[in-house]
Amino acid sequence: MRRYIGRMPPLTQALAESIALMARLRAPDGCPWDRAQTFDSIKRHTLEETYEVFDAIDRRAWQDLKDELGDLLLQVLFYAQMASEAGYFTLEDVAANLNAKLIRRHPHIFGDAVARTPDEVKQTWAAIKQQERIGAQSAPARLLDGVPRHQPALLEAAGLGKRAASVGFDWPDAHGLIAKLHEETAELEAEISAEPQDSHALEAELGDLFFTAVNLARHLQLEPEFALRAANAKFRQRFNAMEASAGSVEALRTRTPEQLELLWNEAKRATSDSAQLSDK
């Protein structure tokens, strides 16, 4: 493969040591816990570490981010070590595959193609990915097959909506999705009012409401995961302010719903005021 960068230095000692440590932990006389892990048992930890990276970025906690990226790197080393033991591939294969992919998907940098804007780069990237899928399939793949089922539901919903939109199956604009949200809300309300309630129907209608909200985020060019995380952080801040105003959790439990609502509104005003002051 043609080299696109200068002469590479040797693998840094720190990274080489990380690889060696992972191999040692998985060795026959290594750590019992590490040796007992499988691809499936590690998946949960990978997801947790990914969210902890997001949290550190949201908090602009750069030292924490350094630690969390190390934990995320550990997941890569873990999978690669287990794959090497099983004879599937090695860490070197992972890096070589990544390098080839980066070169292949950036023809405007490593080839003769032209892409002057981020949108043009995204179009080129998507077109190359589609060609790669066609080349890898022995039989024609269905459009939605490229959206992994085993990922967080928000990401899957966003991927499904985006794929369907690529052939024109989509709402015309965000206003159409707002109307759809009202429609789905009405259908959920009808199921809530039904006698007797059907838990499966309730779940289906609530799922439709979530799916529509995710597609609204796509139309607004927002990441639904990040929007929900911001809402979670806002709720956490306001509820903490309620608790502080009441004096304790025990004091909150003694308040009536009306009193709790008053505390909530006070917390909303206080946190909104502090946010405005921080912007000045």
Please write the tens of the pLDDT for every residue from 77-135: 999 999 999 999 999 999 999 999 999 999 999 988 898 899 999 888 888 887 887 66
Average pLDDT of span 244-251:
93
Q: At what angle do helices 199-219 and 224-246 cross, to 10 degrees?
A: 110
**Helix (H/G/I), strand (E/B), else coil: 191:** helix
Mean residue pLDDT of the chain comes to 90
Do residues 241 and 267 make contact, with C-beta atoms less than 8 angstroms apart?
Answer: yes
Q: Which one of 222, 237, 269 terminates a domain?
A: 222
What percentage of the chain exceeds 90 in pLDDT?
Answer: 70
One domain, residues 82 and 159: no
CATH number of the domain bearing residue 57: 1.10.287.1080
Domain-located, residue 176:
yes
One domain, residues 96 and 25: yes
User: Closest Cα partner for 72 from 84, 83, 64?
Assistant: 64
Residues in the chain: 280
Q: Which one of 82, 104, 126 terminates a domain?
A: 104
Domain-located, residue 114:
no
Domain-located, residue 5:
no
What pLDDT does residue 204 have?
96
Average pLDDT of span 214-220:
96
One domain, residues 168 and 217: yes
One domain, residues 216 and 260: no
Q: Which domain does 149 fall in, by range?
A: 145-222
Structure tokens at 61: 């906690």
One domain, residues 36 and 61: yes
Domain-located, residue 132:
no
User: Closest Cα partner for 232 from 44, 53, 55, 47?
Assistant: 55
Give the separation between CA 64 and CA 55, rounded to whole angstroms: 9
Structure tokens at 278: 């921080």
What pLDDT does residue 148 have?
84
Confidence of residue 232 (pLDDT cuts 50, 70, 90): very high
Lowest-pLDDT range of 16-20, 139-143, 229-233: 139-143
Residue 166 has φ and ψ, to the nearest 5°, of: -65, -20
Predicted TM-score of the model (pTM): 0.62
Residue 8 has φ and ψ, to the nearest 5°, of: -85, 140
One domain, residues 180 and 155: yes
Neighbours of 46 (CB within 10 A): 16
One domain, residues 193 and 261: no
Total domain count, the chain: 3
What pLDDT does residue 8 have?
61
One domain, residues 65 and 92: yes
Average pLDDT of span 4-19:
77
Domain-located, residue 131:
no
Q: Is the pLDDT of residue 1 over 50?
A: no
One domain, residues 100 and 17: yes
Q: Is the pLDDT of residue 157 over 90?
A: yes
Q: Which one of 222, 248, 264 terminates a domain?
A: 222
Give the separation between CA 46 and CA 41, rounded to whole angstroms: 10
Domain-located, residue 6:
no
Domain-located, residue 8:
no
Give the separation between CA 237 and CA 102, rounded to whole angstroms: 41
One domain, residues 84 and 153: no
Domain-located, residue 80:
yes
